[in-house]
A and B are shown apart, each in its own frame.
Chain A
Amino acid sequence: MDFKELTEKFGGKLDAQAKWDDCVVVPREYLHNVAAFLKDDPSCKMDMLVDIAGIDYLTYPNHEGPRFAISYAFKSLKHPGLRLRLKVLVSESDLKVPTISDLYANANWYEREVFDQFGIVFTGHPDLRRLLNHVEFVGHPLRKDYPAQKRQWLSTNDYLLPELEKRLETLGYWIVQRSKEVETKDNEFLEGSVKE
């Protein structure tokens, strides 16, 4: 496949630096259209999203252009061995990329991870929260200007039961008793665990 459609229709450019695979740099506005095209077109049928990765070019030697990039890796199950990488360049002043989680369901968590580690906002994402780091974390650790050994303590553990109950309710379950977080005190932690 020579990716003529991508370069002609969507204004993509073949990445000259990619040595080992095919990489197309796509403008941000056409990303969703390109993903839909790749998924549905019978000539490629890339129905598997392998990975979404963020790239920070801050300390990259001889780099010109925007600071951040997002790399999407696709794979075709219909045409064996057909793989493609899309790259979207994002500048630091406008960190917004359209989501593709409506096309690929697994893009949901990949995009949450990229948001967590790089701070890139995916517009239209249903639930854009941190995935790997804890809720009290400040900053985005995989950016090159984050000091790698700067540690941040978490004071409480995440209380996820109400969220779980909400999700169960959407699936049609009936919640008999809603759970409430128990605040433990240092002296009387055994009393705190007794039901009211």
Chain B
Amino acid sequence: MTDEAQKPSIITSSLDFLVNWGRTNSLWPFPYGTACCAIEFMSTEVGRYDLSRIGSEYVRFTPRQSDVLLVAGTITYKQAPILKRIYEQMAEPRWVIAMGACACSGGFYDCYCTVPGIDHIIPVDVYIGGCPSRPEAFFDAMFDLQKKIKDESYMKQRASRVKDQLEMIKAKTAEAKAAAKDFAQEKVEMAKEFVAEKEQELVKKAQFWKE
């Protein structure tokens, strides 16, 4: 009995396509919810709108396991360093969605305590308007983000990363070489001084014996 599934099968594709396909369909959000936009996100997540249809199944409450930082709500100056720290804790690749008027521009809080847009702190990929924004708008933003991720090239990013690393290694080796050179020069100078001292001593001794 021969089964089609038992035969060896090969699919050819580019690595970029494969990686982007995986990334677009498993965007795990980290909800940084501080205001009413977070309530809208809750209704997006559960039954009626069901965010897991596009693969954002798990809402991760740790930055180390999530891909999308979802800033939903007002960010005050007291919170700004916390948000920055959470963004820095996320692993690459990472994307940021600013949800609602407050996260995009500070909203109607034109005052001493509210950050006028989170792009003063961290880079943002997609902005959503609305106060608060509807779940449909949130879905639209997720589709936009997926389109954006499909345009990215994993190989180019990797090449630039390797280039950066090479440059860093070159700079470090140059630094080490310069340091070694300085050290050798110091040693040579010290040896020269030593020799000069010894010569002077010998001259003195010779003069003493002459006398």
Q: With an 8 A cutoff between CB atoms, is A166 at the interface?
A: no
Chain B interface size, as a band, is 10 to 19
CB pair A141–B112 under 8 Å, yes or no, is: yes
CB pair A153–B80 under 8 Å, yes or no, is: yes
What string of 1s and 0s marks CB contacts (under 8 Å) between B50-94 and chain A?
Answer: 000000000000000000000000000110111001001100000
Tell me the complex Cα distance, A156–B78, Å.
9
Tell me the complex Cα distance, A177–B4, Å.
61
Tell me the complex Cα distance, A158–B78, Å.
9
Tell me the complex Cα distance, A134–B78, Å.
5
Taking a contact as CB atoms closer than 8 A, the residue among B77, B78, B82, B88 that contacts A189 in the complex is B88
Q: With an 8 A cutoff between CB atoms, is B110 at the interface?
A: yes
Tell me the complex Cα distance, A152–B76, Å.
10
Q: With an 8 A cutoff between CB atoms, is B113 at the interface?
A: yes
Tell me the complex Cα distance, A156–B81, Å.
6
- Smallest beta-carbon distance B49→chain A, Å: 34
Taking a contact as CB atoms closer than 8 A, the residue among A148, A149, A154, A184 that contacts B78 in the complex is A154
Tell me the complex Cα distance, A153–B80, Å.
8
Tell me the complex Cα distance, A181–B81, Å.
15
- Smallest beta-carbon distance B127→chain A, Å: 21
What string of 1s and 0s marks CB contacts (under 8 Å) between A29-59 and chain B?
Answer: 0000000000000000000000000000000
Tell me the complex Cα distance, A171–B81, Å.
31
Q: With an 8 A cutoff between CB atoms, is A146 at the interface?
A: yes
What string of 1s and 0s marks CB contacts (under 8 Å) between A124-150 and chain B?
Answer: 000000001110000001000010111
- Smallest beta-carbon distance A143→chain B, Å: 11
| A149 touching B88 in the complex, CB below 8 Å, given contacts A154-B77, A154-B78, A155-B81 | no
- Smallest beta-carbon distance B42→chain A, Å: 26
| A148 touching B81 in the complex, CB below 8 Å, given contacts A184-B88, A189-B88, A189-B89 | no
| A157 touching B113 in the complex, CB below 8 Å, given contacts A151-B77, A184-B88 | no
Binding site secondary structure of chain A: loop
The A/B interface has a contact count, at CB < 8 Å, of 36
Q: With an 8 A cutoff between CB atoms, is B159 at the interface?
A: no
Residue tally, chain A, CB below 8 Å to B: 18
| A149 touching B81 in the complex, CB below 8 Å, given contacts A184-B88, A189-B88, A189-B89 | no
CB pair A148–B82 under 8 Å, yes or no, is: no
With a cutoff of 8 Å between Cβ atoms, the chain A residues found around residue B89 in the complex are 189
Q: With an 8 A cutoff between CB atoms, is B111 at the interface?
A: yes
| A149 touching B111 in the complex, CB below 8 Å, given contacts A133-B78, A154-B77, A154-B78 | yes
- Smallest beta-carbon distance A8→chain B, Å: 44
Considering the complex, give the chain B residue whose CB is closest to the CB of A141: B112
With a cutoff of 8 Å between Cβ atoms, the chain A residues found around residue B81 in the complex are 154-157
Tell me the complex Cα distance, A184–B87, Å.
13
Tell me the complex Cα distance, A149–B77, Å.
13
Taking a contact as CB atoms closer than 8 A, the residue among B88, B113, B116 that contacts A133 in the complex is B113
- Smallest beta-carbon distance B60→chain A, Å: 17
- Smallest beta-carbon distance A187→chain B, Å: 10
- Smallest beta-carbon distance B63→chain A, Å: 12
Tell me the complex Cα distance, A152–B85, Å.
19
- Residue with the highest number of chain B CB atoms closer than 10 Å, among A132, A153, A155, A184: A153
CB pair A152–B77 under 8 Å, yes or no, is: yes
Listed A/B pairs (16) with beta-carbon separation below 8 Å:
A133-B113, A134-B78, A141-B113, A148-B111, A148-B112, A149-B111, A149-B112, A150-B112, A152-B77, A152-B112, A153-B77, A155-B81, A157-B81, A158-B78, A184-B85, A189-B89
* Apart from A133-B113, A149-B111, A184-B88, 8 more pairs, CB < 8 Å: A134-B77, A146-B112, A149-B110, A152-B112, A153-B77, A154-B78, A157-B82, A189-B88
Question: Footprint of B on A, CB under 8 Å?
Answer: 132-134, 141, 146, 148-158, 184, 189
